[in-house]
Structure 1
Amino acid sequence: MAIRQDAAGHPAQPVSGNSGSITATAVSRSFGRVHAVEHMDFHAPAGKVTALIGPNGAGKTTLLLMLASLLAPDSGTISVGGLDPVHHRAEVRSRIGWMPDTLGVWESLTAREILTQMARFYRLPSAGIGQRVSMMLDRVRLSDLADQPARVLSRGQQQRLSLGRALIHDPSVLLLDEPASGLDPGSRVELRTMLRQLAAAGKAVVVSSHVLSELDEIADGAVFVNQGRTVRQQTTEEAAASGRRYAVSATDSEALAAKLTELGLAFRVEDGRRPAFSLLLLNDDDAARLLRDLVLAGVGVSSFAPASGALEETYMNLEGERR
């Protein structure tokens, strides 16, 4: 029986049940004296959407570039379905779809030409490239603009083209850096739906974004990073179980404050266009119970809603601990 090899001639490791997962263990990368990533750990399982969350300068993009095999770590290991990008670069890259935060090169080419060239780079069968490109243009809603140069596309349209470019070869791992940037509200909803569908199809989807409210609707779990290190990994359910902050306002603020005090709940007043009382509740049952108690007490509640998502609450708590 012939032994399968990658492009460099190394024996390709067998693909197991985690063929779509991607893992980084204790990876580090420096640029001169700047330690962008230090002993960072990361895992994104197949069939799930994993959020990568952290402030600017936390090392997120550097980590994504290493995961995409576009940047080699100084130390530590990366595994894509059991394969090491250092020894199996060609096969690893065939499994990864990379969407940077900007479209980048080839702005003089049309959307169709860009996707066609990417399909050739990934050595898709020539006979099927035209059909694959047309299908992908339709999927990212660019069929009407297929023969327009990329430079005339809006920021949101370029983002959709970048997503199509990342998906053209049907990768098992998808790495997305700020994919919702520039998208209109309708396109954001479409993106959320598409990413959930891709995860349901068994792909490992990694999303780095500063829009944490979007990630609450998409992600199954999150890896939080700061100052080049991993500071927490948790599922969305674990984040929700830690509680989140609610904003409550009423027609009579004094009556609301009195009832919250009577119930023994700590709160603070948030200034804004409509002043609201902010308080931390552990779960949906506590929220439902509080709303019932306020209504039964005759408090004229005018708004009652989460002030933050579960992942945003974790992020803010971590920021508070750091400071």
Structure 2
Amino acid sequence: MTAGATAGAATVSAAGPSELGIVVDRVARRFGAVQAVVDASMVAPMGQVTGLIGPNGSGKTTLMLMLASLLAPDQGSIRVAGHDPVADPASARRLLGWMPDQLGSWGSLSARTTLVQTGRLYGMHRLAAAHRAAELIHLVDLGELADRPSRVLSRGQKQRLSLARALVHDPAVLLLDEPASGLDPAARVALRRTVRRLAGEGRAVLVSSHVLAELDEMADSAVYLDRGVTADAARIAATRVSERAWRIRSADRHRLRDALFRAGVPWERIDADAGGLLVPIAGEDAAAALLTRLVGEGLAISAFAPAVGELEHTFLDLSGERMAAAPPAGAGGPGAPADPSPYAPPAPGAHPAPPQPGGPQ
């Protein structure tokens, strides 16, 4: 994540409504017998990029649709820039930009016309909408394709058009669902810069993505969702001092391996890849101590860093914890936990049970 970033399920603090672009409090949503979102709470502050992370089927899309005012929660509350998207969807939508995973567009219309018409739907004068469309076409680098039918655009180009469309009315809050999907490496770098710039202008940006390395480069914080439940801050904090692989590189790999063994790393726990030696280290303090020792022995260390990013480490750590907690097939029975997830909700009675089918749709 970006410098000074944190990872974890945010909770509503002393920050005022104007400082919180998105506030989700104990939200649940069911589809028939399927409880898609069980207990989700989070905040996305203005001026920051917040990541929304979780495995497939974790409830991310359902949560994003509720934030976009396209689904109503069965319980709990949501605020978007201070507005309730259920009670007052029109006010929320005026302040909200929504970029879905798949762009729904008119194939015969050009990117320019699509943006102008979107501006008109938001009540903009035609000249103002045309001016805004030109600005956004430049922002997302679609100048050469601006007047061609959108059906000829590639997947990545449609993603850029989708981002531009979400920005037409200059929203205070942005919801981006898999924005890097289909983008080439250069376009991904440009996307990171654009998203950081948009947040730097004071917007709250929520990004749902499976590309964790990409998200690590742009997010200030992250919310982890699994089986419809957001991970609590204490569990996130525990991952920061759990073991992860660090990659260490030196010109003399054999001498480095010997030095690691003398530092107390067992031979069998020293792995290697093309980038160097991989060593399990628990926390940054332990990493700093090991680096100091290696340098003190006269080793020239050319690389010393985590082998995976902060978001990926936290995601894998929580996922591994969940798998370790799962009972073997056939185990369980009466009295066994129904959900061994590390994100598991509080015990029955700690908060109201999700409503039965038939709630608001």
Interval of TM-score (by shorter of Structure 1 and Structure 2): 0.7 to 0.9
Show CA shifts across 1:185-223 (max 9, x none). 222121111111111211110011111122222111111
Q: Report the number of matched residues.
A: 306
Shift of 1:297: 2.9
SS in 2 for 1:213: helix
Partner of 1:268: 269
SS in 2 for 1:87: coil
Partner of 2:278: 277
Q: Relative contact order (alpha carbons < 8 A, sep ≥ 6): 1 or 2 greater?
A: 2
The within-5 A match list for 1:63-78 is: 63-78=63-78
Partner of 2:199: 199
State percent identity of aligned pairs.
49
SS in 1 for 2:217: helix
Partner of 1:3: none
SS in 2 for 1:148: coil
CA distance in 2, matches of 1:275, 1:219: 27
Give the letter for the 2:277 counterpart: A
Kept after mapping to 1: 8 A contact 2:19/2:45 = no
Partner of 2:177: 177
Shift of 1:261: 2.7
Decide whether aligned partners of structure 1 residues 98 and 243 sit closer, same or farther in structure 2, where only a CA change above 3 A counts: farther
Give the letter for the 2:216 counterpart: D
Decide whether aligned partners of structure 1 residues 173 and 237 sit closer, same or farther in structure 2, where only a CA change above 3 A counts: farther
User: TM-score if structure 1 supplies the norm length?
Assistant: 0.85
Decide whether aligned partners of structure 1 residues 233 and 145 sit closer, same or farther in structure 2, where only a CA change above 3 A counts: farther
Partner of 2:127: 127
Kept after mapping to 2: 8 A contact 1:100/1:177 = yes
Comparing 253-262 and 118-127, the one that deviates more: 253-262
CA RMSD in angstroms comes to: 2.6
Consecutive unaligned residues in structure 2, runs of 5 or more? 1-15, 324-361
Partner of 2:145: 145
Kept after mapping to 1: 8 A contact 2:247/2:275 = no
User: TM-score if structure 2 supplies the norm length?
Assistant: 0.77
The within-5 A match list for 1:156-171 is: 156-171=156-171
Show CA shifts across 1:118-145 (max 9, x none). 1111112333111111111111111111
Kept after mapping to 2: 8 A contact 1:256/1:299 = yes
CA distance in 1, matches of 2:72, 2:228: 16
* 1:80 to 2:80 alignment: yes
Consecutive unaligned residues in structure 1, runs of 5 or more? 1-15
CA distance in 2, matches of 1:18, 1:241: 34
Decide whether aligned partners of structure 1 residues 264 and 227 sit closer, same or farther in structure 2, where only a CA change above 3 A counts: same
